[in-house]
Amino acid sequence: MKILIVGANGKMGQMMQEYLKKINCEYFCIDKLNIEDYKNIKCDILLDFSSYLALKQNLKIAKTKKIPIVIGTTNHNEKNYELISKYKKYIPIFLSSNFSIGFNVMLQMLNQLKKIKAYQFVIIEKHHKSKKDCPSGSAKEIEKILLKQDISFNTISLRIGEVVGEHSVFAYGENEIVELKHTAQNKMLFCEGAYNVCKYMLKQPNGYYTMEDFLKSDSL
């Protein structure tokens, strides 16, 4: 598998290069300064760690090269989702704000909280001090699940030191407290997940895919 990393100069792009070197997987790098280089690169899949602002450009690249795209950027708006809906007819598209298997298993567990929706809910998410989006894309995924269950909540976002990522959901009842928590100890966790998703996407037909689809597969 030959991976084309877009946004290679960012933190996740650099970590992904380090991980792929470690496992001896062939990859190529492009960023906004050399974006036109993609035309001369033969690859199997595009891994996007650039920015939500570059989504249209990256979808066009994947369509031109007739390869799947795995998107790991956050802050996507309605216009971007409309683009994904348009391009999924031509290429396989995968989108996730968090490639951790454990975190996404926790998301599935959150669907049971509707049974105690009368409790008081609080989401607490912690990341490193230089993280730009607040709340994080992962925290927003938690919020979506709670909203679908008609659960009211407060979200607290903390930017502290070099915290990789920590997400907790607390449900406070009169006589008990329920806590679901995921802690990422190293960013290589996300690189491993992204790599496994890339392998999974090579086998998929045109369409739109998420971590929920991946967890249902035999790719784990």
Residue 8 backbone dihedrals phi, psi, to 5 degrees? -70, -20
CB neighbour burial string for 58-85, b if at least 16 within 10 angstroms, e if fewer: bbebbbebebbbbbbbbebeeebeebbe
Contact 87, 201 (CB under 8 A): no
Write out the two tokens for 121.
């809910």
At what angle are helices 11-22 and 188-201 packed, to 10 degrees? Answer: 70
Q: Where are the alpha helices (DSSP H) in 88-205?
A: 101-109, 137-148, 188-201
Q: Which two three-digit tokens encode residue 103? A: 């975190």
Partnered with residue 165 across adjacent β-strands are 184
The kind and range of the H/E element at 171 are: strand 165-172
Distances (CA, A) of 121 to 60, 148, 153, 175, 186: 41, 14, 5, 14, 28
- Give the catalytic positions in this structure: 127, 131
